[in-house]
Structure 1
Amino acid sequence: IEIGEGKNILIKYIDMSDPDAEGFRTLTFEINGAVREVKVLDQNLEVKSDRKLKADKNNPFHLGSSIPGTISKVFVKEGDAVKKNQPLLTVEAMKMETSIVAKEDGVIDKIYAVEGEKVSQGDLLVSFVKE
């Protein structure tokens, strides 16, 4: 590739890895003699791994599941105003229910889970914004 007068880049394709569990392949190139790797999502594959968003533990407006289980009840909807410690939904695991409560006052921005859905620990369930 000529990028300017007297400036050329030589790119040589070397290898492509098998897809990982999340559907990413590592492509290996040699660029002007230096080896570079790039991870690329193979969109032609059907990925069977969990691709759910994870809650940011440092963000008080991200609420994640504290346990793996099934969403048994959702008490709020998008746009609802909520108060600190207000129950938002419950997760059931082995006949035990755990309430997911608001950490701060705010307004529900998005609900990422529906009743009956299976969730893993750390999956993002609800995000909200400060009032």
Structure 2
Amino acid sequence: MWNTLLSEGRIGQTLLTAWIAKENLRNLLALARTGADRHQVGQARWKFLTWCADSDIPEVRQLATTIDRWWPEIAEFLDTGHSNAKSEGINRVIKLVARAAFGFRNAVNQRLRARCVTTRRARGLLRTAQL
């Protein structure tokens, strides 16, 4: 498949290298759902890091550096399957509401507005309002 796309000139070598690095990272993170052992995780990590190290693309090498720097947290996610995505999402919504409410004279009203948006009942309304 890749050879056909390269020979036809539809994609370049740089794009292909970055795409394969992304796919290797996706495969590594997908191991969280499979309950893979340390050996499988280590092999997937080695495959990703060596691919990135062998590339001549600075962005791909920086991605590998970032993944390596955050490896203890990523390994914990792969072991447990838990992340802090919910709390990060709520924090994002609070920041958006705080920006919209900037300039309220009463700080209590601003806090109340952020609290109301992040309650369970309001979250469903928030999703439909963004559509």
| TM interval, short-chain normalised | under 0.3
- Say which structure is richer in strand: 1
Larger radius of gyration: 1
- Indicate the structure whose relative CO is greater, using CA pairs within 8 Å and at least 6 residues apart: 1
- Say which structure is richer in helix: 2
**TM-score, with length taken from structure 2:** 0.21
